Every structure is written in C-alpha cells, then in structure tokens.
Amino acid sequence: MFAAYAARIDSDQPLNGLELGERPAPEPRPGWSTVTVKAASLNHHDLWTLRGVGFKEEQLPMILGCDAAGIDENGNEVVIHSVIGQSGHGVGPREPRSLLTERYQGTFAEQVSVPTWNLLPKPAGLTFEQAACLPTSWLTAYRMLFTNAGVRPGDSVLVQGAGGGVATAAIVLGKAAGLRVYATSRDEAKRKRAVELGAADAFEPGARLPHRVDAVIETVGAATWSHSVKSLRPGGTLVISGATSGDRPAHAELTRIFFLELKVVGSTMGTKDELEDLLSFCTTTGIRPVIDDVLPLDRAREGFERMAAGDLFGKIVLTR
C-alpha cells in the first residue's frame, strides 16, 4: 500500500528522512481493527519522529501520522483515538501508553491497524477531513482548557502562537465555551484570523494585555514563557503541552510563580472519553476544525514543508 514514512532520522534536516512509496499492509491481529483511511492530518509530532525524538532508529521504517478518520472492516465510519495502551485493550495491561508511530505504524497510508477499543463512531455531521483533525491537536486543546486549566464560561484565557493546530483549536473551543480569549502571533494576518475565529483581541508576542488572565494555553515554549507567566492573575494556571521554540526559557520567572501562587500544569493529548466529549461538543455547537489545506497523500512532502516553516493557519489534511 502507498504510504508516507520515516526512512531515516535526521535531527537537523528532518524532511531528509521522509519517503513516499509502498509499505506492507497491516496484518490481522486479535483485538485490533484495520481501518481504511479516508483522511489523516499532520501534527508537529510527525516532525519530531523524523528528528528521532522519542523514537529509535531500529524502529525504522515507520509510517507517520497520528490522526485519522476512515472506515472499519464492518463498514462503520470511525475516528481513531491515537493513544495506544491507555486501557490495555489490544496490547496488555503492562504496556505503557504511546502515541501512534512511537511503537506502531501510523495513519499516512491507505490502511492502519489499531486496537478496536480505540475506535469511536464518526458523527454524521463531520466530514472525514474535519474528523481527522480532532484526535491530537484539538483533543490536546480540549484537555488543556477544560480539564487542566479548569476554566469556566466568563473566564479569560491567553492562547500563545495563533496559527498552530493546538492554539487554533483553543481559540475556537474557548469562544464556543463562553471564554474571553486573547491570542498572540508574530504575523499580522494570523492575528486578524484569530479575531475572526472568536478571539476578543490578538497581540504581538510579549504585548501587555488589557488585564491579567485566568489561564494561559502555552505550546510555544521558551520564546513566550516569560510573557505567559506575567500575563496570569494571582492564582492563575499556565497549561503547557509543547515547546516548539525550545524548552529552556531565559527567565523561568520562579519568583513570580511562587509569590503569586501560580499553577503550572503539563498536558499531553487526552483520553478516549475526552475525545468522545469533543466530538459531541462539535456536533452540539456546530464548531468545526480549522483546515488550512487538503492535499492528496502523494503530496505529503508539501504539507510537511509548510508545517516545518510555520506557513499555515490550522490543520493540513492528507486524503486518498
């Protein structure tokens, strides 16, 4: 079957390891289902895999891709929860959780095999392309906001780095949940787009906000860390799920953190139940993932190049 896969690891030039071509189709195994992929979306995790982060060279070649929506062996339209081993179903109780492509072949292919427990029904109101955007970045944003930040309608939130998948999702979800959302971006067009999606206002990174916020959604890391901490009200919560600009900020702001009793919470992906809630939330409110572009799988390299350059707003989706 045709697939986009990691053939080599290159920490400096990750796209040097990306190959497009034929790979073996998944073989049947007890407790697992084979899904015919209709759409799959790109995540920064795919670039990290090509860099060898959390991934060993002996696992090569590895089909990339965490997110997908498609059709199972029984003809059901499904969405894949991409955290494997969270429940033990299909892998055994002692296997630690992992994301697709960390241990098992991914979704950038004609077919993918996952534990049957990891499949959720695709809501009829979502296209395959929309549904394929939800299981990683949108689920991450959902958990950051509603589980780990614990915000409620009327609260205020700062979302750093508008344009990225998680940040874009946080803006849309926050607006739909009745939050007052502020956003930042170095790019004027992205700031404008953030406001169009529901942000109360958007600023350049480091700018002073109209007031301190209840929570910050942080995925940028070192470049925005100090601003994130300084933007919180006393007792506020900073939730971090990534560090695309690096994980070593020049100023940790420790004095401010303890003096103002701020909370710093790490967040990774989400549970199957949270993904089910997210699908329901999209259905009930009518919100939909922001899709930057849809490309055929054989043009996957273009999508990777745009993601690596930060030249997008929302998700890039691959289809067959």
pLDDT at residue 311 greater than cutoff 90: no
Is the pTM for the entire model greater than 0.85? Answer: yes
At 131 the pLDDT is: 98
Summarised one tens digit per residue, pLDDT across range 294-305 is 999 999 999 999
Q: Are residues 105 and 45 in the same domain?
A: yes
Please give the average per-residue pLDDT across 208-223, as a whole number. 97
On the question of pLDDT at 86 being above 90, the answer is: no
What backbone phi and psi angles, to 5 degrees, belong to 9?
A: -110, 130
Q: Domain for residue 283, yes or no? A: no
Q: What is the mean pLDDT of residues 52-76?
A: 94
35 and 21 within one domain: yes
Instruction: Work out the pLDDT band at 244, boundaries 50, 70, 90.
Output: confident
User: Per residue in 98-146, pLDDT tens?
Assistant: 999 999 999 999 999 999 999 999 999 999 999 999 999 999 999 999 9
Q: What percent of the chain has pLDDT over 90?
A: 91
Q: Which of 225, 219, 230, 181 is nearest to 203 (CA)?
A: 181
282 occurs within a structural domain: no
What is the pLDDT, as a whole number, of residue 320? 85
- Are the C-beta atoms of 90 and 100 separated by less than 8 Å? no
Does residue 31 surpass a pLDDT of 90?
yes
Residue 104 has a pLDDT of 95
Residue 276 lies in a domain: no
The answer to whether residue 271 is domain-embedded is no
Residue 66's pLDDT band (cuts 50, 70, 90): very high
56, pLDDT greater than 90: no
d(CA 113, CA 32): 6
314 in the same domain as 204: no
Residue 244 resides in a domain: yes
For residue 301, what pLDDT is reported? 97
Higher pLDDT, 55 or 274: 274
pLDDT at 164 over 90: no
> In this structure, is residue 19 part of a structural domain?
yes
> pLDDT (tens digit, 9 = 90+) per residue, 216-238?
999 999 999 999 999 999 999 99
Residue 28 has a pLDDT of: 93
- Does 96 lie in the same domain as 12? yes
> What is the per-residue pLDDT for 139?
97
Whether 23 and 121 share a structural domain: yes
With beta carbons less than 8 A apart as the criterion, state whether 296 and 111 touch: no
Same domain, 47 and 153: no
Question: Which CATH number is 225's domain given?
Answer: 3.40.50.720
What is the CATH number for 68? 3.90.180.10
Q: Into how many domains does the chain fold?
A: 2
- Range(s) of the domain holding residue 219: 137-266
Same domain, 141 and 130: no
Instruction: Give the pLDDT band (50/70/90) at residue 87.
Output: confident
Contact present, 112 and 35 (Cβ < 8 Å): yes
